Amino acid sequence: MATFSIATLFSILLTLFLATLLGVTKVEARSFFVFGDSLVDSGNNNYLATTARADSPPYGIDYPTRRPTGRFSNGFNIPDLISQHIGQTESPLPYLSPQLNGQRLLVGANFASAGVGILNDTGVQFRVYESGARRVLVTGTGPLGCVPAELAMRSRNGECSAELQRAAALFNPQLTQMILRLNSQVGSNVFIAANTELMNTDFITNPQAFGFVTSKVACCGQGPYNGLGLCTRLSNLCPNRDLYAFWDPFHPSEKANRVIVSQINTGSIEYMNPMNLSTILTLDSQT
């Protein structure tokens, strides 16, 4: 399952507030579309013939229904929490869900798929700006070398993988510069760079400051750091998920997702460039 770690390098969460694509004319009726990998998948892989699935317990153990939904989380993931912040009563449904029709299309849709860009059955590309997107949030990669899966495979004393950390350090600044150049070309701050490497590094390097007991050991898993294999009914499972920065070998816990989304909402320019989500919502409400 190391492909998840590689896929994270290419993980892009796109929040799209559309005015033209769906004929929406009021800011209050903004639609929200998501593209990316397992970090933001809300259940598309439930409908695909793939091994990258989160449709069995204990996934979803802290979700309101206490049932697995296809989210690679113990509860809410990042799109869920952003949906709540922008005032939606429900998160965008997976685009493969048979329930996604009619009025629900105005809410948006989630096109994310675990393993995107790595597995042949999940890779899709979109030209979002030309399709009408006018606000696009693009996340970089997190600290790839510090997830429990990499610690289990590469670490001797709990140190992060230097090779993967260098890859992230090379990728993220160039992504931000590319986004700023795109904004210059279109003449507007359409694209927003979310520095998820820094957002994750904050609680990975100082977990106690955020109420975590550890950022090295996953809540659900097996082997060193609970970082080997999938999270299953037979895995080690922590009794309090809020004390762990990582839910499984690759994915943050719901509480860690809340930390990330808090910075997306109100973070300074080093976290959100050129502006955070709250500023976007304020500006859009004035137009």
Catalytic residues: 38, 248, 251
What's the token pair of residue 102? 């009619």
E runs forming strands in 111-206: 133-139, 191-194
Confirm if 249 and 224 have CB atoms less than 8 A apart. Answer: no
E runs forming strands in 3-94: 16-18, 32-34
Beta-bridge mates of residue 252:
246
Cis ω on the peptide bond leading into residue 207 (within 30° of 0)? no
- Cα-based angle 39, 201, 40 (whole degrees, multiple of 5): 10
Beta-bridge mates of residue 109:
33
3-class SS of residue 32: strand
Residue 279: which residues within 8 A CB-CB, separation 6 or more?
none
| Long-range CB pairs of 175-180, under 8 A, 24+ apart, other chains included | 175/138, 175/140, 176/140, 176/273, 179/138, 179/273, 180/273, 180/274
Q: H/E element holding 237?
A: strand 236-237
Cis ω on the peptide bond leading into residue 274 (within 30° of 0)? yes
Q: H/E element holding 141?
A: none
Residue 213: which residues within 8 A CB-CB, separation 6 or more?
207, 243, 244
